[in-house]
Amino acid sequence: MRLDVFTQVPHAFAWMTEQRPLAAVLGTELELRLFNYRDTTPLRAGQVDDEPYGGGAGMVLRVDVVAAALDAVYGDAPEQRVIALTPQGRPLTQAVVEELVTEPALTLLSSRFEGFDERIVTHLCSDAISIGPYVLSGGELPAMVLLDAIARRLPGALAEGSGENESFSTVLEGGLEHPHYTRPAEFRGWSVPDVLLSGDHARIEAWRLEQSRARNAVS
């Protein structure tokens, strides 16, 4: 997959490229390209945003600036999905991640301050995604959230099998994962459930499914 991120803060992504799972798939399963709107802006002095029509606080990312950035990279209209990261987008879920991970290429647009000129979302994007019902200061963290969620679903990102049984997976009927325990088996009187020490894999699997279902019932 090729993932293009348009941002005003490309260096924010540096630490992530050195961490698994992203580091494990970069250059093989995933090509990550970072573009700064400022590098292609048609305005002077690297300007990318402007005051909102109708007044009000904050600056708005300009449609001509984003169009110039997309044109510089893709020439014509991009063939891949172009996703605006915005609190007004559809909510990000594991199902959305599974849908996106099948794409050969994706473009993520982030904004800052007051957000996008609405014409960016309606005319230059094919989709809009929110990572949750809260407001962050910029689209970089949402882009990283999506990047991480996608990267861990690519072949070679995780140890064999460790991405299959996770919360929201079909194996767990779309629900939450069961609890995990590790050594010591006893700590301050808090014990690990006996079944996990039994060595009886069928019982352990049945217990895990039951725990997962119980979590889903209360969530």
Ligand X SMILES: C[S@@+](CC[C@H](N)C(=O)[O-])C[C@H]1O[C@@H](n2cnc3c(N)ncnc32)[C@H](O)[C@@H]1O
Task: Name the site residues for ligand X (rule: CB under 6 A).
Answer: 85-88, 110-112, 114-116, 130-132, 134-139, 142
Collect all residues with Cβ–Cβ distance below 8 Å to 38 and sequence separation of at least 6: 8, 46, 48
DSSP label of 26: B
Between 10 and 138, CB nearer to ligand X: 138
Min separation Cβ 115 and ligand X, Å:
3
- From first CA to last CA, the distance across the chain in angstroms is 34
Min separation Cβ 142 and ligand X, Å:
4
Between 102 and 137, CB nearer to ligand X: 137
Cβ-closest residue to ligand X? 139
Between 137 and 219, CB nearer to ligand X: 137
Count of other CB atoms within 10 angstroms of residue 54:
5
Between 7 and 212, CB nearer to ligand X: 7
Min separation Cβ 86 and ligand X, Å:
5
How open is the CA angle 131-135-139, to the nearest 5 degrees?
Answer: 60
Min separation Cβ 25 and ligand X, Å:
23
Q: Residue 164 and residue 171: Cα distance in Å, rounded?
A: 7
Between 27 and 132, CB nearer to ligand X: 132
Min separation Cβ 161 and ligand X, Å:
31
How open is the CA angle 180-130-66, to the nearest 5 degrees?
Answer: 135
Q: Residue 151 and residue 2: Cα distance in Å, rounded?
A: 11
Q: Token match 């994007």: residue?
A: 125
